Amino acid sequence: MLNVLKFVQGAVGRKDLVPALTHFRIKDGRITGYNGKIALSAPVPLDIDCVPKAVPLVRAIEACSDTAQLHMTASGKLSIRSGKFRAHVDTLPDDVFPDIGPDGRDVYVGGPLLPAMRALYDITSDDATRPWATGVLLDGECAYATNNVVLAQFWLGCHFPYRVTVPRYAIKEMLRIGEEPINIQLTTTSITFHYEGERWLRSQLHAIEWPDLNRALSLVPGESEVPPVPEGLWDALDTLAPFTDEQNRVYMLGARVATALEEGASVEVDDVPGIGIYNHKMLSLLNGLAHKLDLSAYPAPCPWYGDGVRGVLIGMRV
């Protein structure tokens, strides 16, 4: 029971502006959570129909040290009993919870999507002023992500037959679930990922136009032309993190990475070019992703490569 609740609780709303979105829907042997953007649903071994408050229900089940028994009280509350433990959870009328479920055409992909989502999630942004940056674009053989400073193209190793943008919040739940979907359904406005055990995750899709990615990616040379990441660069960035200024800048000063042109903190790093200013956070996003990086391309976009992924990094101006 607790594992089922943990699966669906990622779709519980955090605010009571729409009360139903902070509740679960238990009906016909399923439990569903919906926060207005994503829905999560799974089978549950309960023969009751109700709309219980989500957070208190999860806490009550967590407190059960023995088999939990659930039933509705005469006053309309959900009662939870386990050994000497008792709890009552408030509910809402059944008809206030949205009727939401899987919908759309089946989509055959032919390969895994989770590696792309795992590699690209950190490059997405939650900045609503740049809507193309708030999700991962699936398009044919590739997936794309950008935060307007870093652009990444990931080769899927399979074919996604439509051009869709999966929102960052849905990707976060996919990574939390940590399983490869066994089936996908798609409409013009939503995507549903099905998992083993009759579980599913449904999300809205971003209806947005992306910038011209081909223009930026045309600047990326072949992988053999891009040098390895300078040895010690990531350790240097970790060391310098507490010393950056309000703009989070780091400078490449020729065999040295520094937080200022003259009197900042610095770390010696061989093979760092003597030119370049970067946002520390943006550059650090490539740690664990890129094994080749040409910082000498600055002030032009700097190309980089990783395992099955490539992209560009844009530096800062003086």
- 81 pLDDT exceeds 70? yes
* Same domain for 199 and 109: yes
CA triplet 185, 167, 215: central angle to 5 degrees?
105
Q: At 303, which amino acid appears?
A: P
pLDDT at 26: 94
Collapsing DSSP states into helix, strand and coil, what is residue 35? coil
* Same domain for 110 and 75: no
Q: Which H helix or E strand runs over 146?
A: strand 135-146
* Averaged pLDDT of the chain: 92
Phi and psi at 277, nearest 5°, equal -130, 130
* Same domain for 13 and 76: yes
Q: Is residue 232 domain-resident?
A: yes
Label residue 308 exposed, middle or buried (CB < 10 Å: 0-12, 13-18, 19+).
Answer: middle
Q: Is residue 318 domain-resident?
A: no
Q: Is residue 74 domain-resident?
A: yes
What total number of domains does the chain contain? 3
H, E, C per residue of 229-241: CCCCHHHHHHHHH
* Same domain for 238 and 263: yes
* Same domain for 248 and 203: no
Q: At 39, which amino acid appears?
A: A
Burial 245-278 (b: 16+ CB within 10 A, else e): eeebbbbbbeeebbbeeeebebbebeebbeebbb
**Average pLDDT of the residues in 168-176:** 96
DSSP state of 301: P
pLDDT digits (tens, 9 = 90+) for 217-253: 988 999 999 999 999 999 999 999 999 999 999 999 9
Q: Is residue 56 domain-resident?
A: yes
Which CATH number do you get for residue 146? 3.10.150.10
**Average pLDDT of the residues in 61-66:** 88
Angstrom distance (rounded) from CA 29 to CA 250: 55
Say what the pTM is: 0.91
Host domain of residue 74:
2-96
Which one of 167, 183, 217 terminates a domain?
Answer: 217
* Same domain for 265 and 246: yes
Closest CA to 278 of 210, 230, 218, 225: 230
Share of the chain residues as helix, strand and coil, in percent rounded to the nearest 5? 25, 35, 40
* Same domain for 77 and 131: no
